[in-house]
Amino acid sequence: MSNEATLHSQHEGVHGAMTHDHHDGHGHDHHHEDSFISKYIFSLDHKMIAKQYLLTGIIWAIIGALFSVLFRLQLGYPDATFPWLESILGHWAKGGRISPEAYYALVTMHGTILVFFVLTAGLTGTFSNFLIPLQVGARDMASPFMNMLSYWFFFLASMVMMSSLFVQTGPASGGWTSYPPLSALGDASIGSKIGMDLWLISMALFIVSSLLGSLNYISTILNMRTKGMSMTKMPLSIWSFFFTAVLGVLSFPVLLSGAILLLFDRHAGTSFYLSDLFVAGKALPNEGGSAILYQHLFWFLGHPEVYIIILPAMGMVSEILAVNSRKPIFGYLAMVGSMFAIVILAFLVWAHHMFVTGLNPFLGSVFVLLTLLIAVPSAIKVFNWLTTIWKGNIRFTPAALFSIGFVSTFISGGLTGIWLGNSSIDIHLHDTYFVIAHFHIVMGVSAFFGMFAGIYHWFPKMFGRYMNNTIAYIHFYVTLVGAYLIFWPMHYEGMAGMPRRYYDYSTWESFKQFAELNHFISSVVIIVFFAQLLFVVNYFYSMYKGRKVTELNPWGATTLEWSTPINPGHGNWPGEIPEVHRWPYDYSKDGVDFIPQTTPVGAHESKH
């Protein structure tokens, strides 16, 4: 079948289903009864695909968090033995102590899983998929089939990464960055054997998934907005998904090339990253490569990656704060402009991860300037969020609390970035706990807060039920206080020079002073982990047993997704897609609490 014919038949199919939706009034397509497989597994409905992403993300989040609990046991209680560990981990925890190899594997997998599988795929995959068609007024994504493929590539990547946990030599253990030569030489360590190959193959599949998704998000936002929905009438959440997708399309291919060259070095005898190496006293034949080249390729993705993680959270927080403050978002165009500035600058700061690689100091100073410059758009966003909340009539829903928590952790975690962005200070702080404290608060915790806010806020739209508020409040307060208690003390350890990724600090005279502190941090980690399990229970219980949503627009929001039925079918709107007349932030205007985007301008004045 030729390409044109295929496209034509796809178009006819979609068109047929949609026109049928119009007549039916319930959004059901009676041409065929959806089977379990076509409805829940290989679904083409963006809402179902979003839920698949979220479910996979939640499973990965539990695994990734559990790994951090396990290696925090080693750090907090270096002399203790936990016999139950041996029954779970086998020879990786002989005598109830995690082995050094297992420790490095846990640290590596924790980073990889949370950065890529949870905060990239889980966050962007869920909310871009769920909200883009609903908020711009589209029946579905530009290409529902490509959308389904993007999820299944992510699922494949997950399976390959998961399988690396079960091979005899264990998963990759060169840190989540997988720097060569450690990652390029199979003999370098036990975690550089097949686990490393599986890591690289999994990342390649993951990048394919990410690109398929991003191209779809971009084309949907640019081409499928409903009548009247100009770019400047889009909610900030949609702008953030758009910019995130652009970042992904431009930066992920660079990591793909980096990973493929690493596979060549491992198996094809090339020397892209290898030169002048000795293993066990024997000189290797590799010459002319540079391990620093890999760092350039990795961080050229790796720095935009932190914005790929944080931008969707920023967009959703803007949306949720406006809805729950009952006020228009402050500085809409400045918010869009600052996101655009972040996208440009995100590509110009990667070498601040490389100040200690022997980088030319003049070049370093250029990257210092650009790095400090990116604080400006971030600060604009912070001030605009604070001004949005200022004198607002705030409703402290769980989503609003997590959004306020997001602003808090984004400020406190972001400020330490100003220290690390200065190359002279970074030379002392690089690869210490200060770096860990900084990026876990600003990117890890903040992004999770944005994600939780999004789940609590849009859960009624996803499942037609509410989550339990009491459990949600416990979840919020334990997580907020716990996050600060875990990561704040690490700044002090880092300033004292305590290096990251070390297996046991108790043997160092200079770091013995932190034994109590590490003990404390590990205890808090365990408490916070259980609070997350509380959230998971709340999520799955509420999905089936939560209080039912009875009103179309429970939060009194202005955006389009709340104009669909409580449980929208495939196609989102049973009749015509509504037309948009105004921007998404008409709250507390002209004596009216809120005016939906679909209300014609001037129509609400006549009500008085």
| pLDDT tens per residue across span 389-410 | 999 999 999 999 999 999 999 9
In contact, 290 and 273? CB cutoff 8 Å:
yes
Instruction: Report the interhelical angle of 291-325 vs 332-346 (nearest 10°).
Output: 170
DSSP string, 446-490: HHHHHHHHHHHHHHHHHHSBPPPHHHHHHHHHHHHHHHHHHHHHH
In sequence order, what are the residues at sequence separation of 6 or more whose Cβ sits closer than 8 angstroms to the Cβ of residue 555? Answer: 323, 324, 397, 457, 562
Based on C-alpha coordinates, what's the Rg of the chain? 25
CA separation for the pair 216, 219 (Å, rounded): 5
What is this structure's pTM? Answer: 0.92
CA of residue 375 relative to chain centroid, distance: 20
Cα-based distances in Å from 499 to 488, 503, 600: 16, 10, 60
Lowest mean pLDDT among 16-25, 69-78, 167-176, 398-407: 16-25
Q: What angle do CA 444, 447, 466 make, to 5 degrees?
A: 130
Computed from CA positions of residues 304, 310, 313, 317, in that sequence, does the dihedral angle turn out positive or negative?
negative
Task: Tell me how long the chain is.
Answer: 608
Residue 608 has pLDDT above 50, yes or no: no
Residue 16 has pLDDT above 80, yes or no: no
> Six-digit token pair at 363?
């070049």
In contact, 221 and 134? CB cutoff 8 Å:
no
Q: What angle do CA 487, 490, 495 make, to 5 degrees?
A: 145
The pLDDT of residue 605 is 54
Lowest mean pLDDT among 7-21, 22-36, 53-67, 363-377: 7-21
**What H or E segment, with its residue span, contains residue 593?**
strand 592-594
Q: Which tens digit of pLDDT belongs to each residue from 253-288? A: 999 999 999 999 999 999 999 999 998 889 999 999
How many CB atoms lie under 10 A from the CB of residue 410?
26
State the average pLDDT over residues 95-112: 95
Q: Which tens digit of pLDDT belongs to each residue from 320-329? A: 999 999 999 9
Q: Which tens digit of pLDDT belongs to each residue from 312-321? A: 999 999 999 9
Q: What percent of the chain has pLDDT over 70?
A: 94
State the average pLDDT over residues 146-167: 97
- Our CA dihedral for 401, 405, 407, 410, rounded to 10 degrees, sits at -160
**What H or E segment, with its residue span, contains residue 250?**
helix 236-267
Residue 350 has pLDDT above 60, yes or no: yes
For the chain, how are helix, strand and coil distributed in percent, rounded to 5?
70, 0, 30
Residue 13 has pLDDT above 90, yes or no: no
Pairing of strands 282-283, 587-589: unpaired
Phi-psi region at 391: left, alpha or beta (left = phi > 0; alpha = psi -120 to 50): left
Cα-based distances in Å from 320 to 337, 414, 440, 564, 569: 19, 21, 23, 19, 24
Q: Which tens digit of pLDDT belongs to each residue from 525-579? A: 999 999 999 999 999 999 999 999 999 999 999 999 999 999 999 899 998 999 9
CA separation for the pair 310, 308 (Å, rounded): 6
Residue scoring higher pLDDT (30 or 604): 604
Nearest to 594 by CA among 579, 584, 608: 584
Q: How confident is the model at residue 1 (pLDDT cuts 50, 70, 90)?
A: very low
- Our CA dihedral for 525, 173, 61, 256, rounded to 10 degrees, sits at 140
| Partners of 465 in the β-ladder | 548
Domains of the chain: residue spans and CATH: 43-276+283-594 (1.20.210.10)
- Our CA dihedral for 348, 353, 356, 360, rounded to 10 degrees, sits at -10
In contact, 216 and 142? CB cutoff 8 Å:
yes
